[in-house]
Amino acid sequence: MKNVIQLLLLIVILSGCQQQDSYDKVLLTDDFSSIRRGPYSVDVGAHTEYHYLHEAAPRSQWAVSTFTWDSDFKHAWHVRQEGDDRQMIQVMTNDRKQHTHPMVVAGDHDWENYSVSMQFTPQSKEFQSGLVFRYRNDRNYYFTGVKGDSLILKMVDDAKGFHQPYEVILGSAFVGWDEDELLTLKVEVEDNKISCSIKEVTIDAEDDTYPKGKVGLLADVPTKFHRIEVKTSNDELQKLKTSRDAYTLELEKISESVPEMKVWKKINTTGFGVGRNLRFGDLNNDGTLDVLVGQVVNHGPQDRNSELSCMTAMTFDGDILWQTGTPDPWKVNLTSDVAFQIHDLDNDGKSEVIYTMNRELIVADGATGKIKYKKTTPMVTDQEVISPETHNMFGNILGDCLYFCDLRGKGYDSDIIIKDRYERVWAMDDQLNILWYSKLNTGHYPFAYDVDEDGKDELLIGYSLLDDDGSTMWTLEDKLEDHADGVAVVKYTEDADPIVMCAASDEGLFFADLDGKITKHHYIGHGQNPAVANFRDDLPGLETISMNFWGNQGIIHFYDASGDIYHDFEPNQYGSMLLPVNWTGKSEEFFIVNPNVDEGGVFDGWGRKVLDFPDDGHPDMCNAVMDITGDGRDEIVVWDPNAIWVYTQEDNSSQDKVYKPLRNPLYNYSNYQTTISLPNWEEL
């Protein structure tokens, strides 16, 4: 019997050694020696909400996963050297924002079972520092590390309220260590088993929340990270290869029915080009779309007071129709809307350009740019302090944006909504007479809908619904923080009532009925740039997608017609307009992340990249989507301040009828619009 017991013990020991030794295939190893010294974080701020910027791209295999609008957060990560030791260093103390943490990440989302060994030197015990593993995104992951005199292991799963992260401590143990002491942290994950240790102190736990994911460095206090190594087994490598090969075959099958891109137009805009500040419409009334390029002057501070400085009207052949203002190649950056649109304001079949410049609201002829009439923009009379440091620094508003709707029941959108940045909104008629004024939390961009079916539009703006006369029908301002980034009223299925959808910045995204009762509230982080379309035929009704930004930029969520999240993924760490694209002329639409060859592409409702942008030197800062050629399918417009390119499909449509969704009118175009794309078929 004794020999049997000894044999069993030997088998257990040997099997344990075999398991320990099985993680001998390197997935990642980094001592940061290949990374150039200096700041690693890049202060791109709000620019990457809807611009792709090359300077924001990762300089190594480590991507900066989080930043906020705070200067120290935007400059948190550096690469420095002490003697022969090159280090990735987090330099700030994150003592104000516990819903987001300085973090850099590396690896692949499909890593499942692996071990990690990491050397790091926390310089304070005040807050946490350590390792993120099985990272799905920077709101969903496991963390282990030190905080105070404890080794902790926890699971993080989004939030349970505004700035209230949902965290479950899976284990905690005392560990004696000193500030500025070099620590070695070891982690092993196999199926639902988790083990982590520092200085011979070990925590073992079981949890099924995250079966796989990347690794990351996280620190809420100044911390030096010296070295990290991730290993797995040969069996795991084979599993990875098998699943990746299968996924590649799946994408190849999908791509067979997705036309490739080809360049249709190229336009040089050097000197008068701009970032994401184009408008599209038929300026010269010839039945085809033209382009209006709006350069911007930022009076400061930052983007609090911005307006047009120059407009250039041109065709997609590059012929300039007219120009007003003085072009300046330095006035190309913007992180806000400015007020200008192309619209047939008087419904006579000819386009006008409506815009603000020099604190005047102007209506001009679309074909020539000649001013038809104008008025001084509204004066702010209820702001306590007006100075060069505040919004509305000139007294009269500059005009944050323009939106057109039908408040008077005329049957077409002849009424004008103009607002300041965040607090005030005016409604005007087509002769620029003020109809009403309201002070409220405006959010970024409104949405009109005839809610009570009286032939006149109501206005969903910020967290409030206003009647056609400007009176408040309901408001959620007393229930919600922050501001609305994107709003809409949507009928998600044919037999359902329309409902309100709101991407509410740090409040996440919520749905409400037409009486203002919130029916579903997802605390996903900073939600913005939502889009609604038929992204999946196998699901009933329409789907919604949203983008995360401040504090957790780059996470994309997918919602079904019931408002439930059915998928999320994080293709990169930037924002995006998430514009739906009707590329195939069939019933399922795709969406664009960005136009970059490596980090962008066109994705479907499952989060699969179905189409790459060509590696042809195209501009990739901005993109827009619309049918320009007239075949019912969308073209993709990409641009930067120097050039505009247009992509169309390589094939010619041979369908008897084409899917041509009904979208927001181009005269209500904004960097903060909720893009609505409703099903519609047309005979060819």
pLDDT at residue 8, as a whole number: 44
* Letter string b/e over residues 387-418, b meaning 16 or more CB atoms within 10 A of that residue's CB: eeeebbbbebbbbbbbbbbbbbeeeebbbbbb
Per-residue pLDDT of 611-627, as tens digits, reads: 999 999 999 999 999 99
Q: Are 517 and 510 in contact (CB under 8 A)?
A: no
Per-residue pLDDT of 556-571, as tens digits, reads: 999 999 999 999 999 9
Q: Could you say which of 3.40.50.2300, 1.10.20.10, 3.40.50.300, 2.60.120.560 is the CATH number of the domain covering 25-250?
A: 2.60.120.560
Q: Mapping DSSP to helix (H, G, I), strand (E, B) and coil, where does residue 2 land? A: helix
Contacts of 670 (CB under 8 A, 6+ apart): 337, 401, 403, 444, 445
Q: pLDDT above 90 covers what percent of the chain?
A: 94
> In whole angstroms, what is the distance from residue 40 CA to residue 490 CA?
42
List 342's β-bridge partners, or say none.
Answer: 353
Per-residue pLDDT of 632-647, as tens digits, reads: 999 999 999 999 999 9
Q: Is 50 exceeded by the pLDDT of residue 596?
A: yes
Please compute the mean of the pLDDT values over residues 282-311 and round it to a whole number: 96
Tokens, residue 623: 């993109």
Whole-prediction pTM value?
0.95
Q: Are 520 and 510 in contact (CB under 8 A)?
A: yes
Q: Is 60 exceeded by the pLDDT of residue 301?
A: yes
Q: Is 70 exceeded by the pLDDT of residue 21?
A: no
Please compute the mean of the pLDDT values over residues 364-390 and round it to a whole number: 96
> In whole angstroms, what is the distance from residue 501 CA to residue 489 CA?
6
Tokens, residue 432: 């620029």
Per-residue pLDDT of 106-135, as tens digits, reads: 999 999 999 999 999 999 999 999 999 999
> In whole angstroms, what is the distance from residue 489 CA to residue 531 CA?
12
Q: pLDDT above 70 covers what percent of the chain?
A: 97
Q: Is 80 exceeded by the pLDDT of residue 1?
A: no
Per-residue pLDDT of 338-357, as tens digits, reads: 999 999 999 999 999 999 99
What's the pLDDT band for 19 if we cut at 50, 70, 90?
Answer: very low
Q: For the residues of 546-568, what is the DSSP string, one character each?
A: EEE-TTSTT-EEEE-TTS-EEEE
Q: Are 159 and 99 in contact (CB under 8 A)?
A: yes
pLDDT at residue 96, as a whole number: 83
Per-residue pLDDT of 577-590, as tens digits, reads: 999 999 999 999 99
What is the separation, in whole angstroms, between the first and last Cα of the chain?
85
Please compute the mean of the pLDDT values over residues 531-554 and round it to a whole number: 98
Instruction: Give the closest residue to 505 by CA, choosing from 519, 487, 492.
Output: 487
Please compute the mean of the pLDDT values over residues 247-275 and round it to a whole number: 97
pLDDT at residue 11, as a whole number: 46
pLDDT at residue 97, as a whole number: 84
Q: Are 162 and 145 in contact (CB under 8 A)?
A: no
* Letter string b/e over residues 163-195, b meaning 16 or more CB atoms within 10 A of that residue's CB: bebeeeebbeeebebeeeeebebebbbbeeebb
Q: Is 80 exceeded by the pLDDT of residue 17?
A: no
Q: Is 70 exceeded by the pLDDT of residue 13?
A: no
Mean pLDDT (the chain, rounded): 95
Cα-Cα-Cα-Cα dihedral sign, residues 23, 24, 28, 32: positive
What's the pLDDT band for 471 if we cut at 50, 70, 90?
Answer: very high
> In whole angstroms, what is the distance from residue 571 CA to residue 52 CA?
13
Where exactly are the structural domains of the chain? 25-250, 480-683
Residue that the structure tokens 């070295």 belong to: 227
